[in-house]
Amino acid sequence: MIAVETYASADQAATALHGDAVFLGGGTLIMRAVNYGDLKTERIVRSTDPAMKSISTSGERISIGAAATMSDVMLNPQLAFLAPVARSIGGPAVRNMATVGGNLFASHPYGDFAVALLALDGRVSVAGSGEEDLGAFLARRSSFSGVVTEVSIARPATGDFRYRKVSRIKPKGVSVMSLAAWLPRSGGRLSGARVAFGAMGNTPVRANGVERALEGANLDVSGIAEALRAVRTDLQPPDDPIASSWYRSEVAPVHLRRLLLDEEVS
Amino acid sequence: MSSVEFRKDLFADERPENLNEIGLPKQRQDALGHVTGRSPYYDDNLYDGLLHMRMVRSSEYHARIRSISLNGADMMPGVVRVIQAADVPHNINTLLSLIGFGRDDEALLQDKKVSYRGEAILAIIAETELQARKACQAVRVDYEALPHVLDVEEALKPQAPVVNEEYPNNTFDYYDRYDHQKLRFGDPHAAMARADHIVEGEYQMSPIEQAPMETCGAIAVPETNDRILCHTCSQALFFSLGTTAKLLDTPSSRLHFKGGTVGGGFGGKVDSLNEPMAVLGAKLTGRPVKFTWDREEEMQVGAPRGAERWRIRDGVMNDGRIIAREFTGFFDSGAYTRLSSYAVVKGTAHLPGPYTIPNVASNVYCVFTNRTPATAMRGFGITGVDFAIECHMDKVAETVRMNPIELRLLNAYRDGDMKPHRRVAKNTAYIECCQVAAGKADWAIAPEYSAMSSLRDGGGERASIPLTMIDEEGRIGERKRGANIDTAPSKITKDSGRAPSVIPILEATQAMGEQAAGRPQVGKATSPAPQPSAPPAPAPAMAPSQTPSPTSAVPAAPQRSAFARLQASEPAAPSQSRPVEPQPSTPTPPSESEQPYRPSEPFSRGVKRPGASPFISGRRR
């Protein structure tokens, strides 16, 4: 039998997470695995901590509780720029369950919400320890054991955040790739741009070469040319049933151009 | 309510307007239950003490099983029973044995050799599904890997590994004679020789998983009086019941099968083996047992639509008339027969598609490979070859630079035309379908093509059976013995000068037709009475050299199918000197039925019971 343990606070839940226990967020990943006969899961730990569901937009950075669902994000007017991202995750039933924290653990080719968080300088808060950079966190997520309580992100100026999900089936298809960019400008030129890709590696990843190429560039056809060249070599996308590694590399510049220039796609 | 457009202007005089069902929109009988969420599924039946069954499956494509070690699985928490091959009372079956077609070739549980990845080796029943899964994980199977073959044409080579011991040539045996299903009509090779163009194409279809939302499953519950109740989502309740009775050596009167809602089937639940396993589990434990596939099993071991490979070779005239068509087809049956043997026969009866082509030949193979056994799915046997045929029609249209819809109309079959399997086509309606489709797509076709009708200009000469070239190529086992035989239809032609086998197939078929029509056989007319050929093609459908006088004497009307009889009634071992292939004389039961009835066997279907009316006839199709 699988035991399910519920704790009132995130800290208590974190303490209970030892041995073969897993922490349950929305359940769209873990319960699917359990129902399909995952033999690793013996104990499921969950928390009803209300703090984990809160969304705070008052500070300089925005804090989103790890237990906030995709639907919660879509309903919050302060997070209107993230609504299209949340909307690209699953169908309505999944969005009502799937959490922001859980998305950080969604394996390839899922985890599109984390791509947006990564582009927005996401930082992860873990119960019982401090804040850490989302990129570093994603790199070690497979060995992570603990409870993520919230993710904070920068507040982009209007029009500075871009997101696209490329899939073969709309509106619910799995990602060929997802792309997110935070494009702060100073004096008309890009400064400190962050570009992240999903389904282009084992985890959501930043495209460092692209970001370097965009530094000081104008956001126009010639300004981004170097970045489009860089994206081909920046990432090592995997083969999967959705697309081959070769295909993903070939089309990445096209989708990056559409993202950066905000081109309409018919 | 309905988006169906009824074209009552077409064939208006063939259908009365006062029918209560036909031609009217109809609500599905299960629609109300589905939209209100009240449709009962098999898994909605709850039982105290329900046990769960999981399967240990082959991790190999082809391997001999050296040993199976339970490795303590039977002692693990919650485990109630382990079922192995020796526990299955009659551990060999083939689905279509219930209609007397094919030989038993598949075990419910394997303990000697596995022939595809995912093949069932043993089952474990436990209190919870998780316990059963953990016990399965503990079991150790020692395999001796064998070479495997995954391609249909590789499997036909002499050195190919034997996939299925019952069919050591890796092909299903047709009529105890050939390693393929033949179709011969006219003299395609001679026609090809005078054709303006030869158009060739090869088409390959992958297996397709039916992917029902509800995976295959069954719950078996002991009832009183030594009866077992089985709730199942089977699409074929009585197939399931018959299969279970046979495998478990149990009178069918001891089985109470209860179907109901099928949560998506599409052919994938016709030959499921969850029912016999669940019933066996219930018999051995005396408790309710559920055996449900998870999604991975549904994908890996759930029988898909099989892969098919087709090669088509057409002889085409400059004006677009197709005067000859040859098929070489391969059905990938996977490791066991299931329904592919039948799909081949069904597909052959469909050739050459909805077209009247005066010379047709096909060789179609049901091939065993080390892949998941294939089964039914939505028009199986037809869908794949139709894809090939219609792709090929476009290729032909391109070759002769013709409007592809006009090409189809030109070659379309019409009411009264003879199909190569010797049935007269009726209610064809293909011409009208093309015309309507062209109209809907705003695809221009010339007025003479718009004016065509499937009701006119068919029959007559187009109803005749031409002189047909026959051959004895592809005897069972020849390929395995190293004989170098092309898989394509024979190249024998009456023009080749080596033709001992130009046989007018007319006489016997004519006799059959009259016999079927209850008329006395008239004298064999030889009067040359050439029928007007069918417009629009200015030339006759068959070249004059191909219409010797006997053919024109064929009565256009009732021709009973020689093909249908060929399947069921052809004598098993004809003498070598008997040259004509499809000439049934007196109906003989299929070879499976030649074995004497064994009353010691508790279960016996109607087809094995002398004198009883068959439950499902092996001869109907």
Per-residue pLDDT at B9 exceeds 90: no
The angle, 0 to 180 degrees and rounded to 10, between the axes of the packed helices B404-411 and B430-440 is: 160
Chain A contact for B128 (CB, 8 A cutoff):
yes
Q: What is the DSSP string of A92-149?
A: HHHHHH-BHHHHTTPPTT--HHHHHHHHTT-EEEETTS-EEEHHHHHHTGGG--S-EE
Q: What's the confidence (pLDDT) of residue B547?
A: 37
- How many whole angstroms separate alpha carbon B66 and alpha carbon B89? 22
User: Least CA distance to B297: which residue of chain A?
Assistant: A36
Mean pLDDT of chain A: 94
Mutation to test the B interface, candidates A1, A38, A40, A44, most B Cβ within 10 Å: A1
For chain B, the structural domain boundaries read: 44-146+210-300, 154-197+315-569
Which range among B21-35, B279-293, B455-469, B532-546 shows the weakest confidence by mean pLDDT? B532-546
User: Least CA distance to A42: which residue of chain B?
Assistant: B130
Of B128, B137, B295, the CB nearest to A36: B295
Q: Residue B404: CB partners within 8 Å, gap ≥ 6?
A: B393, B394, B397, B398
Per-residue pLDDT at B545 exceeds 80: no
Edge-first strand order for the sheet with A194-198 is A161-167, A175-182, A194-198, A205-206
Biggest CA–CA distance in chain A, Å, is: 62
Segment B307-311 shows an average pLDDT of 97
User: Same CATH topology for A3-153 and A161-260?
Assistant: no
For chain A, the structural domain boundaries read: 3-153, 161-260
CB pair distance less than 8 Å for B129 and A37:
yes
Per-residue pLDDT at A37 exceeds 90: no
Residues of B in contact with A39 (CB under 8 A): 130, 133-134, 137
Q: pLDDT category, B595, cuts 50, 70, 90?
A: low
Q: What's the confidence (pLDDT) of residue B604?
A: 41
Buried b vs exposed e over B112-127: b needs ≥16 C-beta within 10 Å? ebbbbbbbbbbbbbbb
Per-residue pLDDT at B607 exceeds 80: no
Mutation to test the B interface, candidates A39, A41, A43, most B Cβ within 10 Å: A39
Cα A13 from chain centre: 23
Amino acid identity, residue B608?
A: K
Q: With beta carbons less than 8 A apart as the criterion, state whether B192 and B324 touch.
A: yes
pTM of the model: 0.77
Burial class for B303, CB neighbours closer than 10 Å (0-12, 13-18, 19+): buried
Q: What's the confidence (pLDDT) of residue B589?
A: 45
Per-residue pLDDT at B420 exceeds 90: yes
Q: Is 3.40.50.80 the CATH number for B154-197+315-569?
A: no
Chain A: give the shortest CA distance to residue B130, in Å. Answer: 7
Provide the token pair at B374: 């294939």
Beta pairing class for B360-368 and B322-334:
parallel
Per-residue pLDDT at B186 exceeds 90: yes
A227-266: per-residue pLDDT in tens? Answer: 999 998 889 999 999 999 999 999 999 999 999 999 987 6
Per-residue pLDDT at B475 exceeds 90: yes
Per-residue pLDDT at B555 exceeds 60: no
Q: What's the confidence (pLDDT) of residue B21?
A: 83
- How many whole angstroms separate alpha carbon A91 and alpha carbon A98? 10
Tally Cβ neighbours within 10 Å of residue B537.
14
Give just the sign of the alpha carbon dihedral B157, B161, B164, B166. positive
Q: With beta carbons less than 8 A apart as the criterion, state whether B428 and B416 touch.
A: no
- Given the cut 0.90, state whether the ipTM is greater than it: no
Segment A93-112 shows an average pLDDT of 96
Q: What is the DSSP string of B409-430?
A: HHHB--TTPBPTTS-B--S--H
- How many whole angstroms separate alpha carbon B205 and alpha carbon B306? 8
Chain A: give the shortest CA distance to residue B138, in Å. Answer: 12
Mean pLDDT of chain B: 83
Chain A contact for B133 (CB, 8 A cutoff):
yes
Chain A: give the shortest CA distance to residue B435, in Å. Answer: 32
Q: pLDDT category, A180, cuts 50, 70, 90?
A: very high
B116-145: per-residue pLDDT in tens? Answer: 999 999 999 999 999 999 999 999 999 999
Give just the sign of the alpha carbon dihedral B284, B287, B292, B297. negative
A141 vs B499: which has the higher pLDDT: A141
Which DSSP symbol is given to B168?
A: T
User: Least CA distance to B130: which residue of chain A?
Assistant: A37
B266-284: per-residue pLDDT in tens? Answer: 999 999 999 999 999 999 9
Q: With beta carbons less than 8 A apart as the criterion, state whether A13 and A53 touch.
A: no
Per-residue pLDDT at A161 exceeds 60: yes
CA dihedral A18, A24, A25, A26 (to 10 degrees): 170
Q: What's the confidence (pLDDT) of residue B591?
A: 53
Q: CB contacts < 8 Å between A and B, how many?
A: 14
Residues 134 to 153 of B: which have CB under 8 A from any A CB?
Answer: 134, 137
Q: What's the confidence (pLDDT) of residue B600?
A: 54
Rg for chain B, CA atoms, rounded: 27
B617 vs B59: which has the higher pLDDT: B59
DSSP-assigned beta bridge partners for residue B290? B52, B219
CB pair distance less than 8 Å for A36 and B294:
yes
Residues of B in contact with A37 (CB under 8 A): 129-130, 133, 294
SS (H, E, C) B171-223: ECCECCCECCEEEEECCHHHHHHHCCEEEEEEEEECCECCCCCCCCEEEEEEC
Residues of A in contact with B217 (CB under 8 A): none
Q: pLDDT category, B544, cuts 50, 70, 90?
A: very low
Q: What's the confidence (pLDDT) of residue B611?
A: 34
> Nearest Cα to B8, choosing from B436, B438, B449?
B436
- How many whole angstroms separate alpha carbon B476 and alpha carbon B480? 9
User: Least CA distance to B133: which residue of chain A?
Assistant: A37
What are the E-state strand segments in B358-503? Answer: 360-368, 468-469, 502-503
Chain A contact for B24 (CB, 8 A cutoff):
no
- Nearest 5 degrees, angle CA A249-CA A255-CA A260? 125
The architecture (CATH level 2) of A3-153 comes to 2-Layer Sandwich (3.30)
Provide the token pair at A30: 């873990």
B61-102: per-residue pLDDT in tens? Answer: 999 999 999 999 999 999 999 999 999 999 999 999 888 899
Place of tokens 């090669």: B311
Q: Residue B334: CB partners within 8 Å, gap ≥ 6?
A: B116, B303, B306, B340, B368, B369, B371, B372, B373, B374
- How many whole angstroms separate alpha carbon B83 and alpha carbon A193? 62
> Nearest Cα to B123, choosing from B15, B336, B339, B279?
B279
**pLDDT > 70 fraction of chain B, expressed in percent and rounded:** 79
Q: What's the confidence (pLDDT) of residue B148?
A: 97
Q: What is the DSSP string of B20-57?
A: SSTTS----TTHHHHHTT----GGG---TT-EEEEEEE
B390-405: per-residue pLDDT in tens? Answer: 999 999 999 999 999 9
Q: What's the confidence (pLDDT) of residue A208?
A: 96
B144 vs B44: which has the higher pLDDT: B144
Q: Is 3.40.50.1970 the CATH number for B44-146+210-300?
A: no
Q: What's the confidence (pLDDT) of residue B603?
A: 44
Which DSSP symbol is given to B372?
A: P
**pLDDT > 90 fraction of chain B, expressed in percent and rounded:** 67
- How many whole angstroms separate alpha carbon B362 and alpha carbon B424? 19
Chain A contact for B294 (CB, 8 A cutoff):
yes
Q: What's the confidence (pLDDT) of residue B503?
A: 45
Q: What's the confidence (pLDDT) of residue B491?
A: 86
Residues of A in contact with B130 (CB under 8 A): 1-2, 37, 39
CB pair distance less than 8 Å for B296 and A1:
no
Chain B: give the shortest CA distance to residue A40, in Å. Answer: 10
Most confident range (mean pLDDT) of A57-61, B182-186, B500-504, B541-545 is B182-186
Buried b vs exposed e over B439-461: b needs ≥16 C-beta within 10 Å? eeeeeebeeebeebebbebbbbb
SS (H, E, C) B384-401: HHHHHHHHHHHHHHHHCC
Biggest CA–CA distance in chain B, Å, is: 85
Mutation to test the A interface, candidates B43, B130, B296, most A Cβ within 10 Å: B130
Q: Which is the CATH superfamily of the domain at A161-260?
A: CO dehydrogenase flavoprotein, C-terminal domain (3.30.390.50)
